[in-house]
């Protein structure tokens, strides 16, 4: 399998282009995982807030890398923490 199953299960075709290395296929990802994750763009607090509101009561946690290939915008991680608390969602930082 592939550890980033949520991307493969929730994004398809060319939408994965910005997330994968060339030549990597999401082989072994169970189709039953489709729709179990909601991807959001790094740095876009407004969109994250919208998604949490749209899916109120359905989100169990936010799993994200606090810093992937760029520094977070000032106040971004604190904003994610505030949104998680406001919506009663566990915040998990991965790849720290």
What pLDDT, on a 0 to 100 scale, did the predictor assign at position 23? 53
How far apart are the C-alpha atoms of 41 and 57, rounded to whole Å?
A: 21
> Would you give per-residue pLDDT tens digits along the chain (96 residues)?
445 555 555 555 555 555 544 555 556 666 676 677 888 888 999 999 999 999 999 999 999 989 877 889 999 999 999 999 999 999 999 877
Contact 44, 75 (CB under 8 A): no
Q: What is the pLDDT of residues 17-38, one digit of tens each?
A: 555 445 555 566 666 766 778 8
CA dihedral 34, 37, 41, 42 (to 10 degrees): -140
pTM here? Answer: 0.70
* Sequence ranges of the domains in the chain: 1-37, 40-96
């Amino acid at each position: 399998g592939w550890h980033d199953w949520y991307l493969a299960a929730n994004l398809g075709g060319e939408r994965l282009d910005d997330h994968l290395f060339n030549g990597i296929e999401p082989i072994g990802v169970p189709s039953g995982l489709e729709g179990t994750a909601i991807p959001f763009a790094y740095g876009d607090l407004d969109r994250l807030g919208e998604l949490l509101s749209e899916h109120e009561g359905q989100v169990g946690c936010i799993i994200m890398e606090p810093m992937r290939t760029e520094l977070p915008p000032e106040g971004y991680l604190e904003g994610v923490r505030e949104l998680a608390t406001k919506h009663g969602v566990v915040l998990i930082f991965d790849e720290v």
